[in-house]
Amino acid sequence: MTIKWGILSAATIAKNYVMPAIQEAGGNILAIASRSQDLTEIQQAFQIPYTLNDYNQLLDMDEIDAVYIALPNSFHFEWIMKAIEHGKHVLCEKPIVLSLEELQIIQQKSIEKKVKVMEAFMYRFHPQIIETKKLLEEGAIGEVLTIRSQFHFTLENWTDDIRVNPNLGGGTLYDIGCYCINVQQFLLDKKVVTYHVLQGRKSNVDVHLTIQVQYEDGILGLIDCSFLGEFSQSVDLIGTEGSLRLPFAFRTDLNQDFGVIQLIQNGQLSSQHIEGNAYKNQIEHFQKSIEQREFQPYSFDSMLEQVAILEEFQTTLKREGVIG
């Protein structure tokens, strides 16, 4: 079965990463809609039959099986719900929505309409993450004591970039901090017991953020991200019998699709270099979940947990911890 796709938005992540991945994974991009961009070049590059300036027109196309949504964060809920109402499966960019209540509504509607909905955290589908989870479960570093996840880059456009627009769901927490939270949830599978946030703000959004977290079993976590620093993206775990580091935790595409796992045991360092196309793997898993309903590559329970934590952290950010 070839899944026929519609694309809502011609955002950079759509045209540079996800759309190529759809084609590499055997999907067929039937239509793309954008309200603001000329789609001529994109249509030619991907050989897309239909280009539209109306999202509703795309959803009205009965031939389309699934849609990929790369709209600004604050528009996700509206267009996920509309897509579900039209009987479309939905892959939506992170964060999938901005409140737990919204995701609970989506979950119920998706069950009613018998469609799949998934948040696009592509890093989860790179084999380095799967191998890291396996190593932890096998006790490669003993009992986990501390986990640190960081994601920094230097934002160039402070004028009209949607990532610094508070009305569109901007800020580091929603843009890159969500990766740092998600990876800790995936690797530890532990509940948050307590936390403390510190932040720097600009343009009325958080632009520099650290969150100290205490998980069940006493595990301590640190989340660290900003729009201000030199590019870095790593995860570190310290255990009672060793340590583990992922220097290309989230964007393996920036390392020629190679993930790296650096493991220290008994003072000895070993490294694994693991190749994989995270974006393509994500599409393959999502398409498989459409064809095989029982297959859940990223469950709703996990997404609900992620959104609940994100919403709580965001609420706290708005009222305390300002350092600049």
pLDDT in tens, 10-62: 999 999 999 999 999 999 999 999 998 899 999 999 999 999 999 999 999 99
Q: Which residues in 164-248 belong to E strands, given as ranges? A: 192-202, 205-215, 220-226, 228-239, 242-246
Answer yes or no: are the C-beta atoms of 208 and 324 closer than 8 Å. yes
> Among residues 120, 136, 158, which one ends one of the domains?
120
Is there a single domain that holds both residue 179 and residue 256? yes
CATH number of the domain at 74, please.
Answer: 3.40.50.720
**Amino acid residing at 248:** F
Output the pLDDT for position 1: 85
Q: b/e string for 271-300 if b means 16 or more Cβ within 10 A?
A: eeebebbbbbbbbbbbbebbeeeeeeebeb
Q: Which residues contact 167 (CB under 8 A, 6 or more apart)?
A: 74
Is there a single domain that holds both residue 75 and residue 183? no
| Band of pLDDT at residue 319, cut at 50, 70 and 90 | confident
| Band of pLDDT at residue 79, cut at 50, 70 and 90 | very high
- What pairs with residue 205 in β-bridges? 202
- What are the tens digits of pLDDT across the range 292-308? 989 999 999 999 999 99
Is there a single domain that holds both residue 109 and residue 131? no
- Residue 213 C-beta-side C-alpha neighbours within 13 Å: 28
Using CA atoms of 21, 16, 132, 304 in order, give the dihedral in degrees to the nearest 10.
-90
Is there a single domain that holds both residue 135 and residue 109? no
Boundaries of domain holding 218:
123-280+308-317
**Amino acid residing at 246:** L
> Among residues 120, 147, 173, which one ends one of the domains?
120
What average pLDDT does range 272-291 have in this prediction? 98
- What pairs with residue 300 in β-bridges? none
Q: Which two tokens stand for residue 277?
A: 């196309």
Is there a single domain that holds both residue 153 and residue 257? yes
| Band of pLDDT at residue 85, cut at 50, 70 and 90 | very high
> Among residues 97, 120, 143, which one ends one of the domains?
120
Is there a single domain that holds both residue 15 and residue 93? yes
Output the pLDDT for position 320: 67
Provide the mean pLDDT of the chain: 96
- What are the tens digits of pLDDT across the range 138-184? 999 999 999 999 999 999 999 999 999 999 999 999 999 999 999 99
Is there a single domain that holds both residue 166 and residue 74? no
In a domain, 299, yes or no: no
